[in-house]
């Protein structure tokens, strides 16, 4: 039978100190991270001055998350100059080549890096506390966010499109699509349509084509990219 190898006495003596250090770190994080969240939210939700552009929800949420990530990073660094240089060195290696539509995804990448750094320097308690805390804040801020939609230009070409325009708009409403008529000509209808992400354009197009079978109707979707 394999026997357990006893730990050296000098190592065993350090175990209480290690556990106490981790407990102190979690206790500090228990105060620092909620405070960073509140202060970050106070800055992100500051009153908007007249004439300034409206703020987007993803940017506000990202600002709050950055305050939390910054708090976790500083808890990791503490008074260790070596850790500070290590974090700067690791962060400088990151290059985002892929376009990120939601700024929060970039913050989650930084959060993953931060948690990994905490584990790498042995701050397991801080990493275990910071991860569910960040998840909880992400869940809270994303639950307040309006449903994201894709914006398209919908063009319907037919010999007499005004004849079945009410039926087209009924299909759009039934599918939960927000729309605005941009142009109504003798041969085409042009809408600006905002679709939920779970709505497929081909199903809407097929439903419109069935309104006037015969192959004379054309439905074209052109997605409008965010600037």
At residue 2, the pLDDT reads 46
Alpha-carbon torsion 100, 104, 106, 109, what sign? negative
All structural domains of the chain with their residue ranges: 9-46+56-143, 149-223
Based on the number of CB atoms within 10 Å of its own CB, is 207 exposed (0-12), middle (13-18) or buried (19 or more)? middle
Which residue is it, tokens 């202060």?
A: 39
Residue-level pLDDT, tens digit, the chain, 227 residues: 445 555 555 545 556 656 666 778 788 888 888 888 888 888 788 777 666 566 677 778 888 888 888 888 888 887 676 777 766 666 665 555 556 666 777 778 778 777 877 776 677 788 888 888 988 888 887 776 666 678 899 998 888 888 888 888 999 998 888 888 888 888 888 999 988 877 888 888 898 888 887 778 888 898 887 65
At residue 226, the pLDDT reads 62
Cα-Cα end-to-end distance for the chain: 68
At residue 51, the pLDDT reads 60
At residue 1, the pLDDT reads 43
Q: How far apart are CA 141 and CA 38, in angstroms?
A: 12
Q: Which of 179, 170, 178, 176 is nearest to 208 (CA)?
A: 170
Under CATH, which architecture does the 149-223 domain have? 2-Layer Sandwich (3.30)
pTM recorded for the entire structure: 0.54
């Amino acid at each position: 039978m394999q026997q357990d190898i006893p730990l050296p006495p000098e190592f065993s003596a350090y175990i209480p100190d290690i556990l106490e250090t981790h407990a102190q770190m979690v206790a500090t994080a228990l105060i620092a991270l909620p405070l960073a969240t509140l202060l970050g939210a106070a800055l992100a939700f500051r009153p908007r001055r007249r004439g300034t552009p409206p703020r987007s929800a993803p940017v506000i949420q990202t600002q709050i998350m950055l305050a939390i990530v910054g708090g976790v990073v500083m808890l990791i660094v503490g008074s260790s100059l070596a850790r500070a240089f290590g974090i700067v060195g690791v962060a400088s290696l990151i290059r985002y080549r892929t376009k990120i539509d939601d700024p929060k995804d970039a913050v989650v990448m930084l959060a993953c890096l931060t948690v990994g750094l905490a584990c790498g320097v042995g701050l397991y308690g801080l990493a275990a506390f910071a991860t569910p805390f960040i998840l909880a804040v992400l869940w809270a801020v994303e639950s307040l966010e309006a449903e994201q939609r894709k914006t398209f230009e919908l063009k319907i070409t037919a010999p007499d499109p005004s004849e079945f325009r009410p039926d087209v708009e009924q299909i759009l409403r039934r599918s939960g699509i927000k729309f605005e008529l941009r142009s109504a000509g003798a041969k085409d209808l042009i809408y600006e349509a905002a679709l939920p992400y779970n709505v497929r354009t081909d199903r809407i197009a097929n439903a419109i084509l069935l309104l006037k079978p015969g192959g004379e109707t054309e439905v074209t979707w052109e997605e409008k990219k965010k600037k």
